[in-house]
Structures are given as structure tokens and as C-alpha cells.
Structure 1
Amino acid sequence: MAERSAAAARRPATAAASLLSIGQVLAKLSPEFPDLTPSKLRFLEERQLIAPSRTESGYRKFSPTDVDRLRFVLTMQRDHYLPLKVIRGYLDELDAGRTPSLPLGGAVPAPSMLATERRYSRDELVREAGATSALLGDAVTASLIAPSETYGDDALQVLRSLVELQRSGIEPRHLRGFRAAAERELGLIESALIPVSRRNDPSSRARAAELAVEIAGQLEIVRSSLIRSALGRLQS
């Protein structure tokens, strides 16, 4: 504790002022990651994915680098379904000064290089995707994109794909079954999480959230394999 106090005393006032509390971190990242909670922050710290500093009273304080690292971890979980042990291995390699790769088809930018997700208005989303307002409306009606005041990069990617599919004669209404399939997968995930979810404590809830992402990733692998296999039969 004495060493920590000495380090805090040597820290420049500007650096100390830039440190954020848990509440401030949640306020900063919740627009991008609505499921982020204090329990999940503590869980990620327990798994040694983040290492915030502590005040003399024991309160966690997060630097801008900590926030970048946290955003990276959450992005890899949400967008690429990577298990925490894989993300931690990558970060350990990065901390050691190496240039590691994740199983994403290439190198991944360091946490500090990840930009905050941009938000798009309806008109901006349509313009960026090269779509029409009618196509976006059809996508919302078909439950392929959730209605919202603003949209993120995920919605942009979906709408861009729908533009390309439309050129091949595939309309959003043809994809209504995708939502039903997603709901069935969600049911499988929820059933698998029952043993963990029954333990209603912060650590178990965080573990359930991590396990849900891992299961979704495994289901995605099976689905992609089935599609590739079907395409192979079609081409032959």
C-alpha cells in the first residue's frame, strides 16, 4: 500500500485527473456495449484482461489505455465471438512486445488503435450503404435490422449485404426465416446457460455472458460449415 501511495504521489496531476471511475467507464462505453455492468468489469479484471489502478481506499480507476483495452476485449467478444482465453493470450503477446494474430484471418490492431463505433442516422446509414430508404424499411419490417434512432456498424454491414443480395433478386422478405433461425439458436443458448444462470451471483452472471458468446461462436462455425458443404454440392 505504501508503494502504491508513493506511485500515486509521483503521478502527474493531469494523469490522475484523466482516470475514470467504474461509473464513468460504464457511461462512456454503455452506448457501444449496453450489456456492460460493474459485475462484468470485475469479472474481466479477475480474468486478468484489464488491470485498473486502485486508490488508497481501494476504488478502481481506469486510465484511457485501460478503456481502450476494455473496448478491444468487448469488441472481440461481441463481433468475433472469441473466448476470453484467446483474447487474453493475444493481449499477453502484445504486452510482451510481439505482433500476434487472432483467428480472424489476419493481424488485429492493438487496443489503442480501435476507434469508437460510429453511429449513423437513418439517412446517413442509407447513404453509407448505397441503399434506399425503402430497402432499409423492408429490412426493419423483416426484423433483419432493429428499428432505432441511430445505427451502428453492424447495421451498416447488414444493409450493405442486403444491397448486394437485392442485385441478385434476393429481397429482405425472402430472409424472414433468418430471424426465426436466430431465435431458435437463442433458445439453445438459453437452455445451455440454465445451470450457470441458476447461481444468481455477479461472477456467475458474468460467466454466463461469456459462455453465451462462446456458444454463439461455435454455432456460427457449424452453420458456416454446413453452408460451405452445400455450396460444394451445388458446384459439383
Structure 2
Amino acid sequence: SPLLMRTDELAMMAQQVVADRFALRRAKENLTICRRDVRKLISAAIEEGASGNWGNIEATYIGLVGRIPRAPTLSDVNSILDEMELLLQEAVNILEMQQKDENNSTNGDQSERHIQNSNTESISELEPSSENEQGAKAVDDDRPKREPVRNFPLGMVMRACPEIAIYGPGGTIGSWREMMGAAVVVRSMLGVSPSAYQEACEVMGPESAATAIACILERAGHINSPGGYLRDLTRKAARGEFSLGPMINALRLKAESG
């Protein structure tokens, strides 16, 4: 019969329908994630008073969301997703530029303090020290040194925490410098205060603090207060009671099994 002659054709049509449904579902999921990230970045930037025309960015975001049909096609979703990803990248670029400006300002302040400290040390070396001062120095030298949090290879971290890659230049992370820049953006998006992140960098080291942020991003749906969680990790690290290893291994196993 004619139907039997078209069996292969009908089977291919059925497979295409299934593939189209899967592609539409995946595109919707990607759009939902992108919408969430843009919304969090905008909210965090406005709350922290970050420079940039966030009012226009928010208006663009609302306009894109308003264009999503009730029953969108794959073409509809992909078109809006492309524009939403561009908006996300624009927001990330603004925050990265602001962070670079802050880093340059901080480096200038640190250089000035270093010059002042160097001058002070030079003067101190010329002046006689009292016995009390010498004793205080000896006490400081005898204090136990806290071991820094161990750094893990960047490749291992990225396999365990792939979500942070989108916040790197061009949606990828290929160096610790890029990783730390992405962590600053994610820190703001998650609502972690600058002081909490700065303290984590001082206690854990900048690479480990960035890794902790990447781990928190992976588990953001299960953490009520990312800022409080990071501060808790920092306190444990200060007491020598925290290691990134278990977190990274757990996330890596989850990523590989998923």
C-alpha cells in the first residue's frame, strides 16, 4: 500500500518531530538560565550602585521578556535567546570594566602605602628599638603560620564547575586571571558583598576564593545565602579547617555522572 511504501519517510518525519521537541525544550531551558543571570546581574548592579546605564539595560531586558509568545516556536526562542545572550555579555563587560578601574585604583593605593611603609621601615632601621619592641617582634615571629588553602589545577576546577565559564571573556576561561575576573562578576550576581569576597581572597588566596565562588555558583539553587556561606568557609579556612578538595570532587563526580 502507499503507506507501506512511505514507511522510511514517515519514520524520519517522526524522528524529526522528536528532535524538534527536544531542541525547543533545550532552547527554552537555555533562555530561562540566561534570563535568570541577566536579572540577577541587573539587580546586583543597581543595589551596589555600579556605574553604567542599568536603567536602559533593564528596559531592554523587560522588552525581550515581553516578546516571548505564550506558545513560542524554536525560531522564536532562539531569536530572543541570541538577544538575551548579547545583553548578558554587555552587562558582564560593564562590570568587568568597572572591576578593572577599581583594581587600578586599588593598585595605586597599595603602591602608595608600600612607599609609605618602606619609608617608615627605613626610618625605623635608623632608630634604636626598645626592649619591649624587640620582645613584641619575637612574639610575632613565634606565632604559628596558617597554611594557605590548597589550589587545584584550573582544568580540574572547570570540569567540576563549568557554569562559571560563561562569565569569562567570550564565554570561556583559559587562565586564572580570567577565572578571577569571572568570579568578581559572579560574586556580584550572587549578592556576595565586596567585603566578604575580599576577606576570602585574603584568607584563602585569590585563586582559591575564585574557586569557592565557582563552587557556590554550581550549587546556587541549594544555598540560601551565598554571602553567608562564603563567610563561613572563610572562617573555617582561617582556622585551618577548610579544604576545597571535597567540594571540587563532589561537583566533578556530579558533572561526570550527569
Asked if TM exceeds 0.5, the reply is no
- Which protein is richer in helix relative to its size? 2
* Length-normalised TM-score, structure 2: 0.21
